Amino acid sequence: MKGKKSNRMIAALMSASMGIAAIPAIAPAAISAETSDASSKVVFSTDFEDGDVSAFTNRGENDTTVLSASDEAAVSGSTSMLASGRSKDWNGPAFRLDDKLKPYTEYYISAKIKGRYYTNATFSFQYTNSDGETKYSNLVQNLSGSDWMSVENVKVSFTDEMTDVFVYFEGGQDDIFIDDFVVTEAAQVEIEQDIPGLKDVFASDFKVGTALTPAALSSKPTMDIVEKHFSGSITAGNEMKPDAVLNQAACQAYFEETGDDTVPQISFSAAKPLLNYCQKNNIPVRVHTLVWHSQTPDWFFKEGYAADGEWVSKEKMLKRMENYIKAYFETLTELYPDIDFYACDVVNEAWTDGGAPRNPGEQGNGGSSNSAWVQVFGDNSFIEPAFTYARKYAPEGCKLYYNDYNEYMDGKLNAIVEMATDLKEKGLIDGIGMQSHLDARQSLDAAFPSVSMYNKALDKYCELGLDIQVTELDATTPENPTEADFKVQADYYKGIWDAIYAHKDNISAVVVWGVTDDGSWRAKQYPLLFDADYKAKPAFYSIVEGREVPTPEVKYGDADCDGN
């Protein structure tokens, strides 16, 4: 039976003006008992047995949720918190973090949730950035079932540049019950210092880097791994994509003031924590990404920047595109003149797997595979002007790339080669970004793509005489993997990395898409080189086995084609 405990703070509480950033929108990999128990510092806990729900609120004046203590359902004991009267999917109970927790500190959140009739919920967060914009993302999705569902040890952390920070439950309009809500401060974990650093092992061959979100900056062990293994290159996970950079309110205000709706207004407030870190630590940055069908708001393609406006003409969109790319680079280099923005994904994912342009249409709130660029231009004719403007405005030394996934499938590969050949002849492109979101599966025979298929794609891109960068590398296992699955993953990583190494004279960077499994966008399938306890996995050792840290002067590969 649960004890009669009240909401309690077991740590010095911080006041306002903090913020949160968190792991990507996917259920996180489990944190081991070794990591979570080692912290043993609960900073907030309630089982609602005392009837007190005051630490929670609904999500503002337009949220009709009513919060109360209820004896209708409980995990144990007799009481939980009931969120009733929900009239919208986004309505729900919210817990504010920035008046209770410390910035730049990692926490785990656990809770139980149950729908009155059926559980169908998402655990999410929101914060306000330095431009006053409210940002939202999911922490754990698909909390679905007929009984209590668990949120277990979800990592959250935040910087002091964000305000009005909440985690909350949303989804559906059914009444929901919340119980056993616990926030635990993570223990400080020492990473393995007796293993070679990836960036050092391959220092003579190519940059080795990773992708980060601002949340990572609050995790000392995560950043210790970045410093040791991945500080050759940093890519912002989401914070430099169009939806994070374009500011609708500012665009509409500029239009109202000037009558000109061809000059998009941008802000790098979301990326500021990451860029500050890279500037302070002299880490090169990959710009990801300028022109993309996904994570580009539909209003960017509409008259007056209105979500319900008419589509603009091709001529107007060309003006917007040029002014957007110009402002992007000019603002970036003005704010961070000392950062080496050495590469940029100018266009991202423009081709289908079959090698055709995407279907025209809106992204909508949920996102889709449709392309508003194709909607306006009719085809992929927007690609050449995007590279033309990027070449005109990119900082000196910034190489320009086309970036895509499934880049080893014949239809897409052939379309990319044809496109890149034309752009190369016009002096507009420097390289190809191979995302390399791979799947090790249960055996090397079942892996997709096969090592042979991946190697053939490298050969094909190499023949273009352009630079190659592996931009988003990860390789999934089956869910709930066994030791045998991790052995297969290790063998697969070794095969892929050996193929990359064989083409090292043509490859200037390899970027692993994330640091630890639990922070990956594919967390349920454990795709990275380090686990949730910050320990190197068999895949890591398969890559470094037999290799020594070089002593000669660092010299990264160029774009001459002589790989195997």
Question: Catalytic positions, please?
Answer: 349, 472
Phi, psi of 506, rounded to the nearest 5 degrees: -110, 0
User: How far apart (Å, rounded) are the C-alpha atoms in residues 97 and 452?
Assistant: 49
Q: Using CA atoms, how far apart are residues 47 and 255, in angstroms rounded to an integer?
A: 51
Query: Is 99 strand, coil or helix?
Result: coil
Q: Do 162 and 127 form a contact (C-beta atoms < 8 A)?
A: yes
Angle of helix 451-462 relative to helix 483-502, nearest 10 degrees, comes to: 20
Question: What is the spatial distance between Cα 415 and Cα 402, in angstroms, rounded to a whole number?
Answer: 12
The values of phi and psi at residue 324, to 5°, are -65, -50
Parallel, antiparallel, or unpaired for β 56-57 and 431-434?
unpaired
- In the chain, count of helices (H) and strands (E)? 13, 22
Task: Give strand pairing partners of 9.
Answer: 44
Distance CA 280, CA 297 (A): 32
- Give the burial class of 393: count Cβ atoms within 10 A of its Cβ; 0-12 exposed, 13-18 middle, 19 or more buried: middle
SS3 234: strand
Burial-class residue 146 by CB neighbours within 10 Å (0-12, 13-18, 19+).
Answer: exposed
Nearest CA to 372 out of 306, 294, 290 is that of 294
Q: Tokens standing for 59?
A: 């999500």
Question: Which tokens in the block code for residue 159?
Answer: 């910087």
Of 137, 122, 446, 401, nearest to 289 by C-alpha is 401
